[in-house]
Amino acid sequence: MFNKTGRQIIVETIQEPVSNVLKILGKPKAAPDGWRWTNHLVFQEVGEGTLAFNTLTRELALLSPEEFNNPDECPELGARWFRVPAQMDDKGSADLVRLVLESLHQRPEHVTTYHVFTTMDCNARCFYCYEKGRARPVMSVETAHKTADYVARHCGGNKVHLAWFGGEPLYNAKVIDVICNDLVERSVEYESSMISNGFLFDEKLIRRATELWRLRQIQITLDGAEDVYNAVKRYVDAGEKSPYRVVLANIQGLLDAGVRVMVRLNVSKTNCKNLLTLVDDLKTHFAGSELLTVYCAVVHEFEGIGIVPMEDEATQELFANIRLLDQRLEAAGLLKRRRLKNKLPMSQCMADSGSSLTVLPDGHLGLCEHYSEDNFVGSIDSDELDGAVVQSFRERFEPMPRCADCFEYPTCIRLKKCPSTAVCMPETIVLAKANIQANMLSIYNSKKSKMGV
Ligand code: SF4
Ligand code: SF4
């Protein structure tokens, strides 16, 4: 490949590296024992060569066949940290970069995201629900007023993001009205998202959601095609109608109202075939919808707060199913690929970000949606947060020996209190790699089509 002046371009950049990371890494050291690829690379072949993504520098580049096959002939690969001295400690460099960036990173001064549990009650009776067997408190109107007051006092005048959560948040929609009306009255800017089963919406409620609640995004879970979905959900208020059809109609209504809908498919090792039928059905209803995306999630068996580990064979089958479903979703145009983030994460999630709180139905404040009965950090009645509990949610697991040569290491944060990342399964890494590769391809293809190639 040549540039306009006819000079050969060495290593074509598709996504620029993070300049701060390059500054921290400095110039590559001498390589008395030669050079090798860094452990932080993910490769993906394309017609014109090989895409390489460096998970530490965040650079995505297209390597020509010559550069890929004879990398020692291309010094630029070393200068841009795709190749490193053979004796280099990759994990050590990633640790250094993270240490410096984290010491420079300032946690936000104000809490601007609130995950509000309007109720722990729900109109569905899914077998896998981690809330089963727990108490089902409901937020009172008085607590809703106090919640809005707390939000207004702690957002520092910034725009607030409200995430309605439950149970089923629509089962106590009146407190959403109360909180939003109070925020409007106090001129607090806000928008919201929701995790819901989507069953209780109707035309009027969708209008209220977009106008008063300023609902911009909703996540709705589908557990299977019509028969399976209806049998899994076991709605207590289903009446004569097929809940599956009601929810699909509501998804359409939300899309028509401009709400982004994320459909989550709960995948277990046994339901893949049925989910493939569901994907076909979703394609028939929603193909071409820009605001809809469908993605797969693993259904874990929970025991208390921990995940019950599965047998190896079952795990492999489960992840094979997810890969197959992802392919089918992508072919149907229902899976929207995410971009490759162009910075390294400084926190894992809402629990350690410092900008987010959960508000439980009784007004307790927490940090993680999985801890709704304990590990509170405060209450809406007080301006103080319990620093020790806040800190406990920031504690990370020490890396394991196998992390040293894992491509995920620069971005991998595992919190000791997080039930979702407590176990690092090889299948998860394989899936993460496949996702990065798919994202690399998507970015490359979109760049090519923009250039009219
Ligand atoms: S915990 Fe797992 S994913 Fe993270 S760096 Fe280690 S091996 Fe990789
Ligand atoms: S479950 Fe894990 S990822 Fe989710 S909020 Fe809690 S700590 Fe964060």
Q: Which domains does the chain have, with CATH numbers?
A: 12-105 (no CATH), 109-425 (3.20.20.70)
* 252-256, long-range: CB < 8 A, 24+ apart: 252/285, 252/286, 253/201, 253/202, 253/203, 253/206, 254/198, 254/201, 254/206, 254/209, 254/218, 255/286, 255/289, 255/291, 255/292
Residue owning the nearest CA to atom 6 of ligand 2: 368
pLDDT (tens digit, 9 = 90+) per residue, 192-201? 999 999 999 9
The alpha-helical segments, DSSP class H, found in 140-194 are: 141-154, 173-185
Look at the alpha carbons of 296, 302, 306, 307 in this order and tell me if their dihedral is positive or negative.
Answer: negative
Ligand closest to 423 (CA) is: 1
- 420 CA distance to ligand 2 middle (Å): 6
Cα-based distances in Å from 211 to 112, 181, 184, 204, 215: 20, 11, 12, 11, 8
pLDDT at 300: 58
pLDDT at 80: 93
pLDDT at 431: 85
- 412 CA distance to ligand 1 middle (Å): 6
Ligand 1 pocket, residue 422 CB under 6 Å: no
Ligand 2 pocket, residue 216 CB under 6 Å: no
Q: Given the DSSP bridges, would you call strands 364-366 and 302-303 parallel, antiparallel or unpaired?
A: unpaired
Ligand 2 pocket, residue 121 CB under 6 Å: no
pLDDT at 1: 44
Residue owning the nearest CA to atom 5 of ligand 2: 368
**Side-chain half-sphere CA neighbours of 42 within 13 A:** 26
pLDDT at 126: 82
pLDDT at 311: 59
pLDDT at 134: 74
Ligand 1 pocket, residue 412 CB under 6 Å: yes
Alpha-carbon distance 366 to 368, whole Å? 6
- 354 CA distance to ligand 2 middle (Å): 13
- 371 CA distance to ligand 2 middle (Å): 9
Residue owning the nearest CA to atom 7 of ligand 1: 403
By most ligand atoms within 8 Å of CB, the mutation choice from 117, 350, 412 for ligand 2 is 350
Distance from CA of residue 282 to its chain's centroid? 22
Ligand 1 pocket, residue 424 CB under 6 Å: yes
Ligand 2 pocket, residue 396 CB under 6 Å: no
Element containing residue 328 per DSSP (H, E):
helix 312-331
pLDDT at 127: 76
- Those residues of the chain that have pLDDT short of 50 are 1-7, 9, 301-309
**Side-chain half-sphere CA neighbours of 315 within 13 A:** 17
Could you identify the atom of ligand 1 that is nearest to the CA of residue 421? 1
Residue owning the nearest CA to atom 2 of ligand 2: 418
By most ligand atoms within 8 Å of CB, the mutation choice from 355, 367, 368, 395 for ligand 2 is 368
Residue owning the nearest CA to atom 2 of ligand 1: 424
The answer to whether residues 194 and 218 touch, using CB atoms and an 8 Å cutoff, is yes
Ligand closest to 400 (CA) is: 1
- 350 CA distance to ligand 2 middle (Å): 7
Ligand closest to 421 (CA) is: 2
| Neighbour tally for 42: CB within 10 Å | 21
- 348 CA distance to ligand 2 middle (Å): 8
Ligand closest to 351 (CA) is: 2
Q: Coil, strand, or helix at residue 272?
A: helix
Could you identify the atom of ligand 2 that is nearest to the CA of residue 371? 6
Could you identify the atom of ligand 1 that is nearest to the CA of residue 414? 1
Ligand 2 pocket, residue 51 CB under 6 Å: no
